[in-house]
Amino acid sequence: MREFIDAALGFPTFPFTAALIVVIGFWLLVLAGVTETDSFDSDVDLDTAGIGGVPVTVAFSLLTAVAWVSSLTASVTLHRLGAFDASGLVRAVSALAVLAGATLLAWWATRLLVRPLHTLFPDEPAPSRLDFVGLTCTVRTGRVDAWSGQAEVAARDGSTALVQVRQHRADTAKTGAPALSNGSTGMLYAYDDAGEFFWVAPYDTALDPRASAA
């Protein structure tokens, strides 16, 4: 046990040990809710190094962990073989070789490890129901009132969804527009989080910029 501690606190493993302490401290802060895993994504681009596609903190954590284990294992092994007990030049060359080798091995291993993690960290944020606010929809139920109703809405990416909609009585009373019924076009103008439905109002398709563009 003593030789592992000495190797971890000695050169060439010590730089990786210090980095590992920082990594552990960071993830403790993440668990405590003080920071987020993507805190440094806007500051560093890892795509050129081949280890992008995941948050910088995840890639750096993997790189540090693999480098630390590799350097520690190599240092203990060479010490047992007597390489670190040789002359100053041989010891220095051996230490630098371990440092470089552990870094390259960690980079190669991290490239392999981040590939299956790409799907867990999509580049684009997940779609939100709020993305539908401001879009037109087509009513798919017999009528829409303040208690029930469904409509089909097309997202900006072309996908469609069936959503719950409600209509204020004031929308028809003030404008004189007919109540929404099956096949009517409406405008989703607000989302009710508590009820999980959209407020919809009658809409003239002639005013739809997407229709005129088509």
Q: Is the pLDDT of residue 126 over 60?
A: no
pLDDT of residue 73: 93
Mean pLDDT of the chain: 81
The domain in which residue 205 lies consists of: 129-213
Distance, in Å, from the CA atom of 3 to the CA atom of 76, rounded to the nearest integer, reads: 7
Q: Model-level pTM?
A: 0.54
| Structural domain count of the chain | 2
Q: Is the pLDDT of residue 43 over 50?
A: no
Contacts of 212 (CB under 8 A, 6+ apart): 206
pLDDT of residue 64: 95
pLDDT of residue 174: 54
Contacts of 65 (CB under 8 A, 6+ apart): 20, 23
**Banded pLDDT at 153 (limits 50, 70, 90):** very high
More confident residue, 90 or 58: 58
Size of the chain, expressed as the number of residues it contains: 214
Query: Pick from 75, 101, 120: which residue ends a domain?
Result: 120
Residue 113 and residue 202 in one domain: no
Residue 103 and residue 166 in one domain: no
Of the candidates 43, 58, 60, the one whose C-alpha atom is nearest the C-alpha of residue 121 is 58
Residue 111 and residue 208 in one domain: no
The single-letter code of the amino acid at 137 is C
Angle at CA of residue 51, ends 48 and 56, nearest 5°: 100
Residue 116 and residue 169 in one domain: no
